[in-house]
Each structure stands twice: as structure tokens, then as C-alpha cells.
Amino acid sequence: MKLPLLLLVTLSLALLSFANPVALYPRQNATGASVGSPCASVSSLVSGQSAAASPTVPAGVAYECIKSVPINKTSALLLLQDIKPYINWQSTVAYLKDPPAEYVDKIQPAWDVWAELDKLETKVRNDTYSGEYDFGWDLYTTFQRTHDGHFVYVPDSVGGVFTWGRPVSIVSISEDGKELPKPFVYTDILAASFPNSTYTPSAISEIDGVAVDDYLESWSQFGSLQDRDALFNNVFYNLAQVQLGESGAATGTFSGGGRGRWVYPGAYTTLTFVNGSTHTFENFAISLYSFRGVQNGSDVADKYFYFNEGQTASAMAKAQDEAKVQVDADKTSSKRTRSTPAPGYPEPVEFANDNSIAGYYIDEDEYSDVAVLAVAAFGGDIYPDTFQSVGTDFIAKAKQANKTKLIIDVSANGGGTILLGYDLFKQLFPSILPYGATRFRAHEAFDLIGQKFSWVAREYPRTEDAVSSNLTGLDVVPSAFNYRTDVDIDYKNFESWPEKFGPHAYHDDNFTSIIRWNMSDTMNYFNGGINITGYENRSNFTAQPFQATDIVIITDGYCASTCTIFSELMRQQGNVTTIAFGGRSQYGAMQAVGGVKGTNNFYWQDIKYWAREAYELANHEEQVKWNQSFEDNYRSYVPMNRAAQSPGVNVRDGIRQGDETNTPLQFVYEEADCRIFYTAEMTLDVSAIWKAAADSKWGTISSCVAGIGSVDASSATDSGARVKAAVAKKGKIDPALLDSLKLYTNQNKVYKGEGFMTP
Ligand SMILES: *[C@@H]1O[C@H](CO)[C@@H](O)[C@H](O)[C@H]1NC(C)=O
Ligand SMILES: *[C@@H]1O[C@H](CO)[C@@H](O)[C@H](O)[C@H]1NC(C)=O
Ligand SMILES: *[C@@H]1O[C@H](CO)[C@@H](O)[C@H](O)[C@H]1NC(C)=O
Ligand SMILES: *[C@@H]1O[C@H](CO)[C@@H](O)[C@H](O)[C@H]1NC(C)=O
Ligand SMILES: *[C@@H]1O[C@H](CO)[C@@H](O)[C@H](O)[C@H]1NC(C)=O
Ligand SMILES: *[C@@H]1O[C@H](CO)[C@@H](O)[C@H](O)[C@H]1NC(C)=O
Ligand SMILES: *[C@@H]1O[C@H](CO)[C@@H](O)[C@H](O)[C@H]1NC(C)=O
Ligand SMILES: *[C@@H]1O[C@H](CO)[C@@H](O)[C@H](O)[C@H]1NC(C)=O
Ligand SMILES: *[C@@H]1O[C@H](CO)[C@@H](O)[C@H](O)[C@H]1NC(C)=O
Ligand SMILES: *[C@@H]1O[C@H](CO)[C@@H](O)[C@H](O)[C@H]1NC(C)=O
Ligand SMILES: *[C@@H]1O[C@H](CO)[C@@H](O)[C@H](O)[C@H]1NC(C)=O
Ligand SMILES: *[C@@H]1O[C@H](CO)[C@@H](O)[C@H](O)[C@H]1NC(C)=O
């Protein structure tokens, strides 16, 4: 292992966190007797802990506890029934069942959601499940295996009582940027790169006795993304995710970040290293409840699950109430203080304090012409106009400072506000009208709400004043259910709801007409919180700040939702090239965009609310007619009461300009222009990533292992020398890197862990 060899200070960092594999709890009594029951053990373990951090218990005892919760068959059947109306909104169900061949070959297998739900129902009726957890897990994976980050249902039993983790974070790195990447324990890399370290870490060869690549590739499949290389990256510690704090994937899914928190990792994990040594450590569960007075699995169901159809506080809301923690997601317009640490990042030139957007220069002469705009989310815990102005101010400063090259780093970007994606594109290409075609699935509920909202909206002048003073107006006028809100494929207004609704048949299903966002719509403020650059009070932005060839987008594959809207515009209309980092341990190309390419998600409770509102706005005759088919379907609160977090569906497909087949972009495979392996330095100092990108795109040294200017791996030269020298110059490891390893467990906050979603 050739690391920046900076000689020895301490090795105590290495494997600090390996606990002895001893059981800390009474073994489960197989008869399930109350004394010494696993849930009683959880109760006593949690009560002994301070309020400072999230309470953790050994994963094994938590698992036995959650497995001992008996199934409520009546409620399970009700749940399976009541989620069906929401599945109708999912735009990709027909394509998931029968995907294009290239998607099956390179991305994911087919998955028939309706058939899987039927199988689940049969199993519940057959008493196949004795416990809530096994049923909940099958229901969770029925959604998760679509690999659509917008389509998510997390049952109470899966995500509402415990979340899981391992006390170790790992990274996958290539020793010289050319050799195939191998996984290492991250604290080993930290120890080795400590000043004066002579320590040489060894790669992991097996996990729990399984060859490491096989183990990690199959573990990675529990993620939300569709692309296999992007899923693989998401397993590991990644500086871009870490800087998102409790909104990102923390230290990677292997250690319980992101979707990793909902997957039981076993009671223990055993790592075998290439040097032959082995370490076994105990995995943990975070308890989201106090477990006060809980004696057994039935108590967990009684206290923490909500079986009724009526409106009750959701399990998650209760959890937050009862647990020792409070979410503090107050929006703030301040961009002065950086409230979330960004270890491994240099001092920003401009930034939003949640790190969703920040601009940097690279502090070295060779890169003095390069500016970096890191966009980790399209808005988060900040106001949209703050997000917009950070971008605007940074671009202006970079121009003034004579920067001619722009790297846009969208690593870890799980999306955000749709119109902020359009706006950033317009800031960079003010003269291009974004194409951005979308369509909904055309089904009865969508049609009825659209008819009603479009009808009611006719009374309102389409002005901010008229709408903001009237609650109904606020709901119906700026909505996608109002045909006046957006424009057709030719960027012309729709004349009527039926013209917008269609339906048009593709792939054995029905869809609306192509719908595009109207950049100058007077209601954009209500949908995006900003005026889009090029319009209204931003119509004086007319100069393109950077040539297309002077811009490059870099990703870790984790580009989802609004990020995919933005990168599609940049790639297809801006002609900007992309570089993808990391991926599986193999040569060959990688996709730059590996997350959900659906262009809008809805939360189920919003659908429920709109259905109710349309019903209330209807006349009596319509109500009588709708009762059977429509309003009844959205009456039940069971799907919300049984969920650990807001369930969602993907409601819009993105369609590429000129695609005669109208295939949703979710099912279109597209390679990045260049692929670069991560090196050790890139896991310590993000500017190593930016320098490799700048060199490969504009310099003479390419790090591309596939794509433009790619280097033949067999003739690998040490192109990372400059980068290593830079780490050496720093002379010390940022202590925040060490702190960040506790990101998932030591939050004293509810870990949100999903990245941001397109509202
Ligand atoms: C389990 O509990 C039952 C009832 O309390 C008891 O009879 C039995 O001996 C226990 N078994 C073990 C293995 O502790
Ligand atoms: C099971 O669920 C049903 C229907 O939701 C509910 O009425 C009943 O009380 C629940 N049973 C138990 C034991 O909680
Ligand atoms: C459910 O029971 C039916 C009838 O006993 C049987 O045909 C079927 O195979 C069972 N299905 C499952 C999934 O157990
Ligand atoms: C690292 O090594 C250099 C030269 O050998 C020495 O001067 C320096 O004190 C060492 N630093 C630490 C932190 O041990
Ligand atoms: C083997 O490598 C692991 C991981 O780097 C390290 O913890 C361990 O100390 C090494 N064992 C020996 C005998 O060098
Ligand atoms: C679970 O414990 C409660 C007391 O907390 C008790 O009333 C109940 O009977 C127990 N249930 C089972 C199935 O052991
Ligand atoms: C930018 O370039 C101009 C023209 O070459 C020069 O006058 C100016 O000082 C430069 N600005 C900076 C910040 O380097
Ligand atoms: C606004 O709201 C009021 C009260 O809810 C309602 O009566 C009125 O018709 C609404 N519409 C307009 C266009 O003001
Ligand atoms: C599509 O719409 C037609 C009527 O326009 C209807 O007959 C058909 O059942 C619909 N297909 C699906 C899959 O809903
Ligand atoms: C949008 O621009 C208009 C002027 O065209 C201005 O009145 C309004 O305040 C602007 N809105 C925002 C959110 O900046
Ligand atoms: C556009 O006009 C606004 C307000 O007049 C001004 O602050 C801003 O600097 C101008 N921007 C550009 C790119 O001209
Ligand atoms: C992108 O490429 C197309 C086709 O070569 C060209 O028509 C278009 O002007 C280019 N756009 C930009 C922003 O360079």
C-alpha cells in the first residue's frame, strides 16, 4: 500500500472501534417467556443510557426482540388493501414489469409490483408470517427492489422501532488510481496517512466468510439507487455524504447510513484481511423508543404500532416525541455560519450553511483557473433564494477572479426542489430554453382531481396576490392538476384539462401528454420559491459565464431526482461532459447518474389530502358518483399509521427530447464520459477529487480508466504524485474526519438519512 508516507505518530486509531464479540444481554429464552425476553433486555439496556446520544443496543438482541412481535393479520390485510390506490400513481410500474433489455442487462432485473403485492397477500392469508417483522420486511423490499428512490414504504416494524449499524466504516480505493479498487477499513487509512506514519493497512478479503466483492455487491443492492456502481459507492465512507450531516448517507450503508439503517447486518461481522488476520465485532441497533415498561413483543405492538384506520400520530411522530431527541430542521436564510461540518473540504468562497451548495477555489497555482461549485442537494434546510444566490454570487466572484474552468461536483446529490435544478441550468446557460419533458401516469384519481382543480382554478387571476390570499387558490392554482400551470411539448399552453390528461398509450399503460415546466409562469414562486434566472427580476442575466467545454460535471453515481433533471439539461442541451468516480472493482465504463431519474415524487398524505379536497369541491351529484371508486380509496389512514416515515411514489417520468419510444429516462442506460477510481487521498481531502477531474478534463494527465483520454491500466504511471504531495503538505489529518465516524450514532437527533427528495 503506497500512501502518503508521513511517518509515525500513533496507530491507536486503527480498529479502535472493534468491540469484543461478547453478548451483553441475557440469551433469548426460546419459549418466549417474559423473564429475560429480548424486548425486556432492550428495555433495561436502553434505560441505562444517557440522553446525550442515540441509545444503542446489541443488534442481536434487538433483532430477536423485533422478531418476537406477533403479526396482526387483520391489520396486515387492511394495509395491503389500503396501499393499492397509491400504487396507481407510480409512473413506472408497467416498465418495471417489462423493462428494456439493456436495463435488465446492465442495471436491474424486472420487478412486477402488483404481482408481488398479491403474493404478499396470499402469504398473510396463509399464515406464512408469524411475526410483524417478516411481513414488514417483505413489504419493504416489494418497494425497495424497484430501485426507485421515490417509491418507498418503510413499515413500522422495519424502520420505526430500531435502525441498524456496524461500528466500522470502509472505503474502496485504488492504490495508484489504475489498479482495481479494494476495500479497506477507513480508520486504517486515517492511521496510515497520519503524519509520519509507517503503518501499512491490509485490504479486506472476506466478510463473514464470503469473498469481499461478492459480499459488498450483494449488500449494496439494499440501497435506493438503480445503478450498480452507484449502489456500490454508497456502501462506503464518502466526504460528500458526510458533509450533509443527518440528511446524507452518513458514513455509508455498510456502517448503517442511508438505506443501510433498515437492513439487519447480523449480530456480528467478521472481516478477514489480505494479511490473513481476522476481526469480529458486534453490530448495533439504535432504539427509537425508550422501551419503558416493555416486557415482550406484544407490548411493542401495543405501544408502538398503530393498527387503526383513523387518524393518529404516525409511529415516527410518536417516536420523535418519546425519544430523547428533537429534529431541528428550521429553515434559515443565513449563509454566514457553516452549521454542518464538512471535514475534508477546503475553506469555501461562498456557501450555504447546510452545505447543500458551496463554491471553492483550489489553492494551488496549477489550478488557479479552476472554480468548483459543489452542489450536494438542490436546497435543504435553507430557503430557495439562499440556494440561488450562493450560486449566483459564486459564479460572479469566480469570473472576477479570472477563473475560466468550472467543476460542478454533484456527488451525494439526492435531489431537492425541482425549479432550483432548472434555475442552476439557466444561470449557466441563460440563452437555452430547458426542454425537460415529463408525464404522469393517466389514471382515474389523477383525472378526477385534475378536472376539479382545473375547474375551480378558473375563478382566480393567475397572480401571486390573488392566490396567496386564498387557501383554496393556493392549493389549486399553482398545482400540476391545473392545466394552466405548465406547457405542452411545444412550449404552448394547454387549452383544457383533457388536452393535458390524454391519455396516451405506451408500453401497455396510459400516460398524460408531455408536460414541460413553464419558466415564466407567474406561479413559479409557489412551486420553487424563486424567480427563475432569465425571467422577472432576473431577466438581466443574459451572459453565459463559462463555455460548455470549460465545464465538467463530476459525480459519485449518487445523483437522483432533481440532480438527474439538472444533469440531463447540462448533458443534452449544454453539451457538458461528465466524470464518474468510484464504482465496482472492475474496469470499464460507469454511469454518471445512478439515482432515480423520475422527475417528481408525491408523498401519500398529500395525495390523500388532494383527493379529499377535490371531493369536497365537487357537487353532490359528483360526490355520490365518486364515493365508490374514488374518495373511499383515500379514506384510510392505515398506510400512514403503519409507516415509519412518509411513504412516497414517483409520479412523473422524464422523457428525452427526440425519443420516439417515449421511454422513461429511469430505464435508459448512459455511460459517463470518463471514469476515475477513488484513491486514499480522495477519502481524506476532497480537493484530490477535483484535481484529478481538472487534470483529466483539461490537463495532460488523465486519470480516466474508461472514457475520454483513458489510460491503459497496464501502463499505469504514478499520476497521483501531485495529489499525494498536497496531502503531505497539509501535515495533519483533520480531526473532524475522526469525529465524522460517529455521525450516524452520535447525533442526538433523528437521523433522516435519505438525502433530499424532489417535492
Ligand atoms: C424459558 O422460560 C420458561 C418459562 O419461564 C422456563 O421454564 C424455561 O426453563 C426457560 N428456558 C431457558 C432455556 O431458560
Ligand atoms: C389488529 O388490527 C385491528 C385492525 O386494524 C385492530 O382493530 C385490532 O385491535 C388489532 N389487534 C391487536 C391485538 O392489536
Ligand atoms: C397458500 O395456500 C394455498 C392453499 O392451501 C396454497 O395453494 C398456496 O400454495 C399457498 N401459498 C403460499 C404462498 O403459501
Ligand atoms: C515527523 O518526522 C520528522 C522528521 O523525521 C520530525 O521532525 C517530526 O517531529 C515528526 N513529527 C511528528 C509529529 O512526530
Ligand atoms: C493485518 O491488517 C489489518 C488491517 O489493516 C491490521 O489491523 C492487522 O494489524 C494486520 N495484521 C498483521 C499481523 O499485520
Ligand atoms: C407481555 O407483557 C405484558 C406485561 O407488560 C403482559 O401483560 C402480557 O401478558 C405479555 N404477553 C405475552 C404474550 O407474554
Ligand atoms: C484578472 O485578469 C485581469 C486581466 O488580465 C487583471 O487585470 C486582473 O487583475 C485579474 N484579476 C485577478 C483577481 O487576478
Ligand atoms: C377564496 O376563499 C373564499 C373562502 O374560502 C371562497 O369563498 C372564495 O370563493 C375563494 N375564491 C376566490 C376566487 O376568492
Ligand atoms: C388505458 O386506457 C384505456 C381507455 O382509454 C383503458 O381501456 C385501459 O384499460 C387502460 N389501461 C390501463 C393499463 O389502465
Ligand atoms: C420576482 O420578480 C418580480 C418582478 O418581476 C418581483 O416583484 C418579485 O418580488 C420577484 N420574486 C422573487 C421571489 O424574487
Ligand atoms: C441584474 O439586476 C440586479 C438588480 O438590478 C443586479 O443586482 C444584478 O447584479 C444584475 N445581474 C446581472 C447578471 O446583470
Ligand atoms: C450542443 O451541441 C449541439 C449539436 O452539436 C449544438 O447545436 C448546440 O449549439 C450545442 N450547445 C452548446 C450550449 O454548446
Question: Which atom of ligand 2 lies closest to the CA of 305?
Answer: 14
Query: How would you label 29-45 residue by residue, b for 16+ Cβ within 10 Å and e otherwise?
Result: eeeeeeeebbbbbbbeb
pTM above 0.85, yes or no: yes
As given in the structure block, the three cell numbers for residue 683 are 477519502
Q: For residues 90 and 87, what is the distance between their CA atoms, to the nearest angstrom?
A: 5
- Asked if residue 491 has pLDDT above 80, the reply is yes
Question: Which atom of ligand 9 lies closest to the CA of 509?
Answer: 13
Residue type at 48 in one-letter notation:
G
Q: For residues 269 and 280, what is the distance between their CA atoms, to the nearest angstrom?
A: 6
Q: What is the pLDDT of residue 707?
A: 86
- Cβ burial, residue 127 (10 Å; 0-12/13-18/19+): exposed
Separation in Å, CA 400 to CA 386, 393, 503, 600: 21, 11, 51, 36
Among 25, 27, 28, 31, the mutation site with the greatest number of ligand 1 atoms within 8 A of its Cβ is: 31
The answer to whether the CB of 504 falls within 8 A of the CB of 533 is: no
Q: Which of 361, 347, 364, 430 is nearest to 392 (CA)?
A: 430
Distance 538 CA to ligand 11 centre (A): 7
**Which residues contact ligand 2 via a Cβ below 6 A?**
72, 74-75, 78, 307-308
Q: What is the pLDDT of residue 733?
A: 74
pLDDT digits (tens, 9 = 90+) for 415-454: 999 999 999 999 999 999 999 999 999 999 999 999 999 9
Mean pLDDT over 681-686 rounds to 95
In this structure, the number of other CB atoms found within 10 A of the CB of residue 292 comes to 10
Q: Is the CB of 510 under 6 A from ligand 9?
A: yes
Distance 450 CA to ligand 8 centre (A): 19
Mean pLDDT over 245-270 rounds to 95
| Ligand located closest to 474 CA | 8
The answer to whether the CB of 167 falls within 8 A of the CB of 281 is: yes
Q: For residues 721 and 569, what is the distance between their CA atoms, to the nearest angstrom?
A: 35
pLDDT band at 753 (very low <50, low <70, confident <90, very high): low
- Radius of gyration over alpha carbons of the chain, in Å? 26
Q: Which option is the CATH number for 350-435+540-596+668-735: 3.10.290.10, 3.40.50.20, 3.90.226.10, 3.40.640.10?
A: 3.90.226.10
pLDDT digits (tens, 9 = 90+) for 182-217: 999 999 999 888 777 777 899 999 999 999 999 999
As given in the structure block, the three cell numbers for residue 755 are 438525502
Query: How would you label 194-217 residue by residue, b for 16+ Cβ within 10 Å and e otherwise?
Result: beebebebbbbbbbeeeebbebbb
Q: What is the pLDDT of residue 751?
A: 60
Name the residue with the closest Cα to ligand 11, atom 8.
Answer: 540
Lowest average pLDDT, out of 21-30, 107-116, 152-161, 561-570, goes to 21-30
Q: What is the pLDDT of residue 318?
A: 47
Which residue has cell 451548495? Answer: 357
Residue type at 722 in one-letter notation:
R
Distance 415 CA to ligand 11 centre (A): 28
| Ligand located closest to 539 CA | 11
Among 196, 197, 729, 733, the mutation site with the greatest number of ligand 4 atoms within 8 A of its Cβ is: 196
Lowest average pLDDT, out of 63-67, 71-75, 337-341, 423-427, goes to 337-341
pLDDT digits (tens, 9 = 90+) for 573-625: 999 999 999 999 999 999 999 999 999 999 999 999 999 999 999 999 999 98
Q: For residues 349 and 359, what is the distance between their CA atoms, to the nearest angstrom?
A: 5
Lowest average pLDDT, out of 88-97, 496-505, 746-755, goes to 746-755
Half-sphere exposure of 412 (CA within 13 A, CB side): 34
Q: Is the CB of 245 under 6 A from ligand 12?
A: no
The answer to whether the CB of 237 falls within 8 A of the CB of 683 is: yes
pLDDT digits (tens, 9 = 90+) for 262-308: 999 999 999 999 999 999 999 999 999 999 999 999 999 999 999 98
The answer to whether the CB of 587 falls within 8 A of the CB of 706 is: yes
Distance of CA 604 to the CA centre of its chain: 18
Q: Is the CB of 7 under 6 A from ligand 4?
A: yes
Which residue has cell 488557479? Answer: 368
Q: Is the CB of 459 under 6 A from ligand 8?
A: yes
Separation in Å, CA 580 to CA 108, 371, 522, 529: 19, 18, 37, 31
Q: Is the CB of 398 under 6 A from ligand 7?
A: no
Q: What is the pLDDT of residue 408?
A: 98
Q: Is the CB of 531 under 6 A from ligand 10?
A: yes
pLDDT band at 722 (very low <50, low <70, confident <90, very high): very low
Distance 461 CA to ligand 3 centre (A): 59
Mean pLDDT over 727-732 rounds to 54
| Ligand located closest to 361 CA | 7
| Ligand located closest to 124 CA | 3
Backbone angles phi, psi at 219, to 5 degrees: -60, -40
Asked whether the CA dihedral 608, 611, 615, 617 is positive or negative, the reply is positive
Bridge-partner residues for 279, per DSSP? Answer: 271
Distance 132 CA to ligand 3 centre (A): 19
Distance 272 CA to ligand 5 centre (A): 10
Separation in Å, CA 2 to CA 66, 175, 325, 641, 678: 45, 6, 43, 53, 14
Domain ranges, ordered by start, for the chain: 350-435+540-596+668-735, 436-527
Residue 504: helix, strand or coil by DSSP?
A: strand
Q: For residues 199 and 201, what is the distance between their CA atoms, to the nearest angstrom?
A: 6
Q: Is the CB of 299 under 6 A from ligand 6?
A: yes
As given in the structure block, the three cell numbers for residue 545 are 459565464
Residues 6+ apart with CB under 8 A from 488: 494, 499, 500, 513, 514, 515, 516
Mean pLDDT over 111-132 rounds to 98
Q: What is the pLDDT of residue 312?
A: 64
Distance 453 CA to ligand 8 centre (A): 14
Q: What is the pLDDT of residue 7?
A: 25
DSSP per-residue letters across 336-402: SS--S--TT----SEE-TTSSEEEEE-SSGGGTTEEEEEESSB-SSB-HHHHHHHHHHHHHHHHHTT
Helical residues (DSSP H) of 20-92, grouped into ranges: 38-47, 59-67, 73-82, 84-87
Q: What is the pLDDT of residue 397?
A: 98
Q: Is the CB of 570 under 6 A from ligand 12?
A: no
Consecutive H or E run containing 165: strand 162-165
- Asked if residue 636 has pLDDT above 70, the reply is yes
In this structure, the number of other CB atoms found within 10 A of the CB of residue 497 comes to 19
Residues 6+ apart with CB under 8 A from 406: 370, 371, 372, 373, 398, 428, 545, 546, 550, 551, 552
Angle at 594 between CA 340 and CA 173, to 5 degrees: 70
Question: Which atom of ligand 10 lies closest to the CA of 529?
Answer: 13
The answer to whether the CB of 338 falls within 8 A of the CB of 353 is: yes
pLDDT band at 66 (very low <50, low <70, confident <90, very high): very high
pLDDT band at 139 (very low <50, low <70, confident <90, very high): very high
Q: What is the mean pLDDT of the chain?
A: 88
pLDDT digits (tens, 9 = 90+) for 162-179: 999 999 999 999 999 999
Name the residue with the closest Cα to ligand 4, atom 9.
Answer: 196
Distance 369 CA to ligand 7 centre (A): 11
Helices (H) and strands (E) in the chain, counts: 29, 22
- Asked if residue 28 has pLDDT above 70, the reply is no
Distance 519 CA to ligand 12 centre (A): 21
Distance 403 CA to ligand 7 centre (A): 10
Residue type at 560 in one-letter notation:
A
pLDDT digits (tens, 9 = 90+) for 312-330: 655 445 444 443 323 333 3
Consecutive H or E run containing 299: helix 297-304
Share of the chain above pLDDT 70, in %: 87
